[in-house]
Structure 1
Amino acid sequence: MVIISFKKSRKIGRNSFSITGQIFSVKNNSLIEFESQLERNLTYLLERRREVSMYCEQPIEIEYFDGNIKRKYIPDFYVQYQDGNQEIIEVKYEKDLLEKKDLLEPKFKAARELCSSNHLTFKILTEKEINTARMFNSKFLANYKTPRFKTNLGDIEYILDTLGKLEQTTIINLINECSSDDNRKAELLFHLWYLVSNYLINFNEEEKLSMNTLIWK
């Protein structure tokens, strides 16, 4: 039976050829390390998706043979879903998949075999699946989920009450309905993004957020 490590099977260091860093995961209450822009963007997506119960990076070390040489492969992410399904995810740019096909395929074959025998799914994600409107929304809203500034319960209730009367409207229309003062609108917009980021106000997650986005309770 495969054992997923939450201590990271490989330490991520600084890299002059790609973006590396850390993001605090509210979902996991821990820091998540990344070593590429794509990995960082996937982290934002995983944080936002409600069906994801938890995830971790560099989860497992997989041994495989490349010819007669024994090698090790560490995929990028492990994801556990609310319904019990589990995935091992590798993140790669499409260009790298094409240019490094011969090098990567033995690794991926070993990962597929391990996942198949352990009730896991192995998935390869590229920029096409990751760099989407949903990712843009996830990254933007991450700044408001646990804001540095205190929220005002009165403003939150006022926004929700006003939206309830309108039933469905755009963000700009709701803010204009709540106030005609520009400074007040800015305060209310901060609270509106907080409500959206915490799923108290809904919108179409597949469309890029804007002031003209349609919202509802």
Structure 2
Amino acid sequence: MFDLQKPKYKPIVLPRNKKYGNNCWLASGPKVGQRDVVLYSDLEFDHWVTVETNPNVLTYCEQPLEISYTLNGKLHSTIFDMWILMKDGTERFVEIKYEKDLKPDGRSYIRTKRQITTQKEWCEQNGLQHEVITEKDIRAGRFSIDNKLKMLLNYINHDKPASVDLVKNYMTKQKKAVGDICTQLKGKCSTYEVLLACQWMCYSGIASADLKEQIWGNKMEVWSLE
């Protein structure tokens, strides 16, 4: 079992200057033992939310490792945006970019291309997966980030809800609206308790929900994964 108190990597602390930290976020994550997590852009924060709410992720480390590369005869360095360890034991390093930075006519395209190539080559040499993720991947769905953030905050701020087992009994592998579960549990659980239980189960990987196209509420469809 992986020990969160003995992580494989430790975050590299970056200076909060014009290059790093214009939109700096400070958070804490259950998957890293509730330690402080520093994200250096809005996109990195949104990505962190998707990682923290992915039930298949065991743990992660932001800004985990720095490697070097040469461009135009000069030595440069690059820091991976995140290292992720999945529950099945696979590891991958992630680089987060905006789509515009990956286009040949982009101002920083040459540097970005060399940076990504260096990261991919290093991962191949070390038998690790590498993934480039953009805002189109991270922010897919109108309500995805807002829903996942609400789910995460409720998981952090509440112990396992007493209503979980009761709500679970009324959840099936077929999609069912939260409002329908509330109707079935009328007098036993409030709407808030049902929503809290659903969010806790989704974070834990016991259930899933249509997080992309519907906000948390009576119309949200949920289903059991067990």
Question: TM-score scaled to structure 2, two decimals?
Answer: 0.78
Q: Is 1:118–2:126 an aligned residue pair?
A: yes
Q: Is 1:63–2:71 an aligned residue pair?
A: no
Residues 64 and 70, structure 1, Cα contact 8 Å, conserved in 2: yes
Deviation readout 1:65-105 (Å, 9 max, x if unpaired) = 11221111112111122233222211111123332102222
Shift of 1:209: 4.4
What corresponds to 2:219 in structure 1? 212
Shift of 1:108: 1.7
DSSP-derived class of the 1:202 partner: strand
Residues 23 and 32, structure 1, Cα contact 8 Å, conserved in 2: yes
- Between structures 1 and 2, the one with greater helix share: 1
Residue 20 of structure 1, aligned match among 16, 24, 41: 24
What corresponds to 2:200 in structure 1? 194
Q: Give the Cα–Cα distance (whole angstroms) in 2 for the partners of residues 187 and 50 of structure 1.
A: 21
Residues 145 and 198, structure 1, Cα contact 8 Å, conserved in 2: no
What corresponds to 1:142 in structure 2? 152
Larger-Rg structure: 1
Residue 135 of structure 2, aligned match among 118, 122, 127: 127
Rate the CA distance shift 1:176–1:124 in 2: closer, same or farther, 3 A: same
Residue 14 of structure 2, aligned match among 11, 27, 34: 11
Residue 102 of structure 1, aligned match among 110, 116, 120: 110
Q: Give the Cα–Cα distance (whole angstroms) in 1 for the partners of residues 51 and 160 of structure 2.
A: 25
Q: Counterpart amino acid of 1:172?
A: G
Q: Counterpart amino acid of 2:79?
A: I
Q: Give the Cα–Cα distance (whole angstroms) in 2 for the partners of residues 194 and 7 of structure 1.
A: 28
Q: Percent identity?
A: 19
What corresponds to 2:169 in structure 1? 161
Residues 12 and 34, structure 1, Cα contact 8 Å, conserved in 2: no
Residues 16 and 22, structure 2, Cα contact 8 Å, conserved in 1: no
Residues 5 and 60, structure 1, Cα contact 8 Å, conserved in 2: no
Rate the CA distance shift 1:212–1:72 in 2: closer, same or farther, 3 A: same
Shift of 1:212: 1.9
What corresponds to 1:92 in structure 2? 97
Q: CA RMSD in A?
A: 3.0
Q: Give the Cα–Cα distance (whole angstroms) in 2 for the partners of residues 64 and 58 of structure 1.
A: 17
Residues 102 and 112, structure 2, Cα contact 8 Å, conserved in 1: yes
Q: Is 1:74–2:74 an aligned residue pair?
A: no
Q: Counterpart amino acid of 2:177?
A: T
Any unmatched runs of 5+ in structure 2? Answer: 1-6
DSSP-derived class of the 1:106 partner: helix
Shift of 1:163: 3.7
Rate the CA distance shift 1:152–1:53 in 2: closer, same or farther, 3 A: closer
Question: TM-score scaled to structure 1, two decimals?
Answer: 0.80
